Structures are given as structure tokens and as C-alpha cells.
């Protein structure tokens, strides 16, 4: 757990408003690490603005709660800094690129936590639409089950709306979009409207022959999106029947005990179609962005920790 402190001294907010304030007069509590991680980037920036080093702002604590110490002026400073960033600084716009089963759903949430920008998965959004049987869901259902691509018009519309939401104001991580050159160009055009562009494409590289085992052994906890694998990451409860076959009823989520499911398109036959679509329609997007110098390759056919350290390297400017 963390404690965030603004040092108890007068600091001049010259770069914000020229006011002088006394920090460290009040305590604000953030109840869990998740919400805390969301404010860390702003606190770090506000700390710079306040003339405080990050060590004065952030340090580890044994307490069970995350506490932010600071006067209401500190909160104002954070808000002003946040507004300034979302108005004048470019958004960080990343594409997590790779075939089905490459690890986008595994590493995306880690990038999300680290940078405080959301992962936008068109696959998850479409699956939610299918579950809710919305108009879009009804249109997408059959083509998704067969491993085909939903129309560009539908997915571009979904992303166009989603990236205007508040949580995307500092940027976002695209997962599963763009999947065609038409989608990439539509994305570029909607970003160009605000003078923005894609800042990074992280390509997770895995040979096709490895993907079938990854995809066909994958089980998912629908509510949380937690992902398991019968060989590489089995749930604690997993059992085999006397005949050596998987006991399906033993496939339950480690945390909630709720049943796990397999995606309708995580089958060998759908995978053939998904992979051919990936090579034919999605891979050409790489050359489209290569000229911009933003594409970074990651060997995703190695242990998870090694993949993550390569992902970190690809995110770094150094």
C-alpha cells in the first residue's frame, strides 16, 4: 500500500496560478489500490508543478489503506494539472497488435495499470453486444462465431464513440482494432481531427503453429475476463476424469468459484479462419505504420515475464 504526501511547507504554484498555498493540511483516503493507481500519474505531475519530488509525494506504507495527504489546494492543483494535460498535451494512443492468442489480453491490462489509460478491446465490446442482443450484437453474432470479421463500419463506429469518453482523455490502448487497412485509415482520420496520431504499435510475434494450442486450451471467466489455460495456467480446481479427459465441471474461477467458459470462436476450425484473416487483412497495417517509426516488435513466444520485459522496453523512450 502507498502513502502519498505533500510536504508540509509553503509552495508557490507559480506555474498554475501564482497563488501560495500550504500543503499537507487534510487527508483524503483512496480505498483501494485500483483507484489509487488511477490518480498516481496526476499526482506525479501535480508534484512536479508543486515543486515536490516524487519521493516526497509517494512512498510505501504498511497501512491497509492508501492515503493521500494534501490540502484541498493540492486537489485543486491536481485537477488543474489534469485539465491542462487533457487540453494541451497529445494523447498516448497505442495499438496492441498480434494474432489471436498472442497475449494481447494478458499484457494489455498490465499496460493499462501501469500507464493509467484504458485498454479498448473491440472483441470484448462486440461480445458484450452479442450477450445483450443489441442491434450491433445481432448483426455480429454469426460472423464472430465463424471467426470472420465484423464490418468496418460497425467497429469504426464503436471506437469513434468510445474514445470520446472521459477515461480516454490521456490516451488509450487499442486491442483488436484496427484489423483492416480501412479501419487503420479511419482511425488515423478521426485522430487527425484533433491533430493526434498513433504513438506506438506493439507487435506481439508468435508463430501460427503455437497459437492453436494456446487458443484451444483457453478458458475464460466471463465477468472478470480472467483467462486460464488447461496446460499453461490451469485453475486450481481443474481435474481429469478416470478416462483422462478434462472434467468440465471442475473448470471454475480461482477467485469466485464461478464456472469458466470457452469462447465460441476458440475452436480449431474458427482459428483457421481467424488466422487467415489476420495474415491477409491485419498484417498489412504494420507496413502502414512502419513508415511512422512507431512499430515495436516483441517476441511473444517465450515465458510471460520475458514477454513483459520486452513490452516494457518497447514502451520506453530510452
Binding site for ligand AMP (CB under 6 A): 100, 122-123, 126, 143-144, 147-150, 155, 176-177, 179, 183, 265, 274
| Catalytic residue from among 127, 179, 200, 214 | 179
| Catalytic residue from among 5, 91, 226, 274 | 274
| Catalytic residue from among 5, 127, 218, 226 | 218
CB of 41 to ligand AMP, least distance (A): 27
Pairing state between β 218-220 and 119-121: unpaired
CB of 80 to ligand AMP, least distance (A): 37
**Under 8 Å CB-to-CB from 121, ≥6 apart: which residues?**
104, 105, 108, 175, 176
Choice between 4 and 140, CB closer to ligand AMP: 140
How many CA atoms lie within 13 Å of 177's alpha carbon, on the beta-carbon side? Answer: 29
Which three cell numbers, joined as nine digits, stand for 216?
484451444
Choice between 66 and 126, CB closer to ligand AMP: 126
| Catalytic residue from among 91, 104, 127, 200 | 104
CB of 303 to ligand AMP, least distance (A): 23
Known catalytic residue: 5?
A: no
CB of 313 to ligand AMP, least distance (A): 24
Choice between 81 and 141, CB closer to ligand AMP: 141
Buried b (16+ CB within 10 A) or exposed e, 132-171: eeeebbebbbebbeebebbebebbbebbeebbeeeebbbb
Task: For residues 117 and 225, give the distance between their C-alpha atoms in angstroms, rounded to a whole number.
Answer: 18
Known catalytic residue: 110?
A: no
Residue 206's Cα: distance from chain center in Å?
A: 20
- How many other C-beta atoms are found inside a 10 Å radius of the C-beta of residue 303? 8
Known catalytic residue: 273?
A: no
Choice between 47 and 175, CB closer to ligand AMP: 175
Known catalytic residue: 317?
A: no
**Residue the block writes with cell 465463424:** 146
Which residue, among 198, 130, 128, has the nearest Cα to 163 in the 3D structure? 198
Nearest position to ligand AMP, beta carbon: 123
Whether the link from the prior residue into 178 is cis, omega within 30° of 0, is yes
Choice between 94 and 149, CB closer to ligand AMP: 149
Known catalytic residue: 179?
A: yes
CB of 300 to ligand AMP, least distance (A): 15
Catalytic (active-site) positions: 104, 179, 218, 263, 274
Amino acid at each position: 500500500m502507498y502513502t502519498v504526501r505533500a510536504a508540509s511547507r509553503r509552495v508557490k504554484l507559480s506555474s498554475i496560478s501564482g497563488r501560495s498555498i500550504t500543503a499537507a493540511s487534510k487527508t483524503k483516503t483512496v480505498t483501494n489500490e485500483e483507484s489509487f493507481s488511477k490518480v498516481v500519474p496526476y499526482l506525479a505531475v501535480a508534484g512536479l508543478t508543486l515543486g515536490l519530488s516524487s519521493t516526497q509525494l509517494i512512498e510505501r506504507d504498511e497501512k491497509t489503506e492508501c492515503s493521500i495527504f494534501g490540502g484541498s489546494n493540492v486537489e485543486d492543483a491536481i485537477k488543474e494539472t489534469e485539465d491542462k494535460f487533457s487540453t494541451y498535451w497529445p494523447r498516448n494512443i497505442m495499438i496492441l497488435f498480434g494474432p489471436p492468442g498472442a497475449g494481447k489480453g494478458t499484457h494489455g491490462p498490465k499496460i493499462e495499470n501501469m500507464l493509467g489509460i484504458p485498454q479498448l478491446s473491440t472483441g470484448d465490446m462486440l461480445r458484450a453486444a452479442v450477450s445483450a442482443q443489441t442491434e450491433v450484437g445481432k448483426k455480429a453474432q454469426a460472423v464472430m462465431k465463424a471467426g470472420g470479421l465484423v464490418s468496418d463500419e460497425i467497429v469504426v463506429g464503436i471506437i469513434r464513440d468510445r474514445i470520446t469518453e472521459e477515461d480516454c482523455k490521456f490516451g488509450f490502448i487499442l486491442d483488436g482494432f484496427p484489423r483492416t487497412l480501412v479501419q487503420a485509415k479511419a482511425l488515423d482520420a478521426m485522430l487527425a481531427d484533433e491533430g493526434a496520431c498513433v504513438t506506438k504499435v506493439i507487435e506481439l510475434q508468435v508463430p501460427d503453429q503455437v497459437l492453436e494450442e494456446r487458443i484451444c486450451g483457453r478458458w475464460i471467466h466471463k465477468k472478470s475476463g480472467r483467462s486460464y489455460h488447461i496446460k499453461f495456467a490451469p485453475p486450481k480446481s481443474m481435474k481429469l476424469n478416470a478416462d483422462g479427459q478434462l472434467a468440465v465441471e471442475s473448470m471454475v474461477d480461482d477467485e469466485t468459484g464461478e464456472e469458466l467458459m470457452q469462447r465460441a470462436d476458440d475452436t480449431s476450425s474458427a482459428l483457421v479462419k481467424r488466422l487467415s484473416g489476420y495474415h491477409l487483412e491485419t498484417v498489412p497495417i504494420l507496413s502502414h505504420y512502419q513508415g511512422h517509426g512507431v512499430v515495436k516488435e516483441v517476441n511473444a513466444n517465450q515465458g510471460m515475464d520475458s514477454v513483459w520485459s520486452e513490452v516494457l522496453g518497447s514502451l520506453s523512450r530510452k
